[in-house]
Chains A and B, each alone.
Chain A
Amino acid sequence: MSAARLEFATSRSTEFVDLTERIRDEVGRAGLRNGRVHLQSLHTTVGLAVNENEPLLLRDFQEMLERIAPTGAGYEHDDFTRRIDVALDEPVNGHAHCRQLLLSAFLTLLVEDGELVMGRWQSVFAVELDGPRRRQLAMQLDGDFVRPQRVDLPEALVEVELARQLMVDPEPVAAPMRRLVEAGGKRLRPRLVQLTAGIGPRNDPLRAAELAAAVELLHNATLIHDDYVDESTHRRGRPTVAAAEGPERAIAVGDYYFAKATRLIAEIGNPAVTSAVAEALEAICASQIDDVALRGAYPGDRESYMGVVRGKTASLFAAACASGALLSEAPPEVVGALRRYGDLLGTAFQMADDMVDFSSSSGKPVGLDIRQRVLSLPLIYAADDRVVGPEVRKLLAGTLGDAEVGRVTELVTTSDALPRVRREAQALVEDAVRQIENVELDGLRPVLAGLARAAVDRNS
């Protein structure tokens, strides 16, 4: 499954925006071979339609909408004196809502052999009914994907580099790391390295893949020690190194790949890159200490949470973005913008990860973070909640068995905590995207924006 947002701006009050080519591009970019494209309007005054893109016909549609739901025809929705919670900028738009009811908010299109299945005269429209505005559609693609070569090649380079590095290592350290690496993972950090390494004038995909693989090894080395500290038994569906081979082996394997990754990065020969990653690693370790210390005051507060997350997760995202750009000798303002983008994205990513703990469709046991007393923003917000907060705090103060974890999960999901965290994560992502708005990124901005949004809109 692939998810993205289609954004567009309208310039008139009623407007038919033809999105057919953009959707075709998205199908091609994602490599969807056979499947479906699902579109959903995220607005109550934007509809979706499939019809002919003929200017006079579009005018006919507009006049039809005007006849059925005329502008200013005394809609009760427009009587602000009788409504509560009316925003200061609330438009008079009863007609637009009524017109939207005649259209659909959802659309599914079929894809066969990599092509949208469309009739000769068919086009896909987003119908603006209360413009001009900036608008968004949610889009999901599902089915069989054949990834296009330009996306596949960099990813394959990292996998080859990871396999090559693990092949030359002594088996007692290589075997546990190989199991962890082969179990998957999102590979977001290496992807960020590779993308940002294409921005500056010195674009060398092989060196970028070496750096990306080293960053991924470093990330996995920290996970191996984390799992011992958290007493986790499984990661990515497999037993953790500590659970499978004992804590002594886990510490040695983590140390080995910590050292090897820093050596591989140093050997690339760019001191700024080496320093960027070394600073991130130090921030990760310092935040781990804070994280464990805060478990005594579980679930903690938002400020402490943000401090830990920025060090523990966001710092490596920021370093991944900055180091790729530094490797390609991108200008300092670009490196700075990407570092800020990575920092915000990493924080949002962790918030999304926290929400996954409450999702039964994630493939992970629900409530694992609660059981392990891992810092979690939804839990912090639920503990602050006026209604459920007292019971959440009381449960967290005691022993957490299955019943207690289940009840806490129930309380969190019935409160406003999850939507609140989601809004916050989405706002951080939009802030991340703004950081890269005013720098030259050689056409990569949409990819980075899409990657950031997808990192938050996920359930696993």
Chain B
Amino acid sequence: MSVQQLDRELDRLQGLWSDGLSDAYRVYLDSVRHFDADVQPKLALAAALIEVGTRLQGLGGRAAPPTTLLMGDLCLARGSRLLADNAPLAVQVAFARAIESISSAAASETPAPPTRPLLQQSLGATR
């Protein structure tokens, strides 16, 4: 699936594509090879959106200003919707648990597990 075909999923977020989202997307593409070809780009984009979204929000660091937070929220919500529509239940649950673990660490002011390996691991969840 080409970037053009993902256009709808990038609505309002095009500016992020050249600002780290495309790099993250390409990395996650390598983690979704075991899924059907038609859902691979959507799942890779979901993971990339969630990674970029938490970074934009400043989760675990200094709080983002309101408008940036809202952009991060939209990334998370869109990533979550892409997972709801395309991922097996086990992967949806693993992603949610990954965000729970990162945000819980942030709230506790303890070091959070690195996001990317956590999300890559979530893409491999089977139960």
Contact = CB atoms under 8 A, between A and B. Distances in A.
Interface of A: 169-170, 172-173, 225, 228-229, 246-253, 255-256, 258-260, 262-263, 266-267, 269, 271, 274-275, 277-279, 281-282, 284-286, 288-289, 292
B108 to A, nearest CB: 5
B54 interface: yes
Contacts of B70: 225, 229, 285, 288-289, 292
Contacts of A172: 104, 107-109
Dominant secondary structure of chain A at its interface with chain B: helix
Nearest to A276: B84
A292 B103 CA distance: 25
B80 A255 contact: no
Nearest to A277: B84
A288 B96 CA distance: 22
Query: SS class of chain B's interface: helix, strand, loop or mixed?
Result: helix
B66 A253 contact: no
B74 A275 contact: no
Given A248-B63, A266-B84, A278-B84, A255 B69 contact: no
Contacts, number: 130
A167 to B, nearest CB: 15
A282 B81 contact: yes
A269 B92 CA distance: 11
B59 A255 contact: yes
Nearest to B50: A259
A248 B62 contact: yes
A301 B66 CA distance: 23
A256 B84 contact: no
Interface residues of B, number: 41
B81 to A, nearest CB: 4
For the complex of A and B, list the 3 residue pairs with the smallest distance between their C-beta atoms, beginning with the closest: A263-B96, A259-B99, A247-B63
A359 B1 CA distance: 54
Contacts of B89: 266-267, 269
B69 A228 contact: yes
Interface in B49-80: 54, 57-64, 66-67, 69-71, 73-74, 76-78, 80
Contacts of B29: none
A281 B76 CA distance: 10
Contacts of B78: 282, 285
Given A278-B85, A286-B12, A255 B71 contact: no
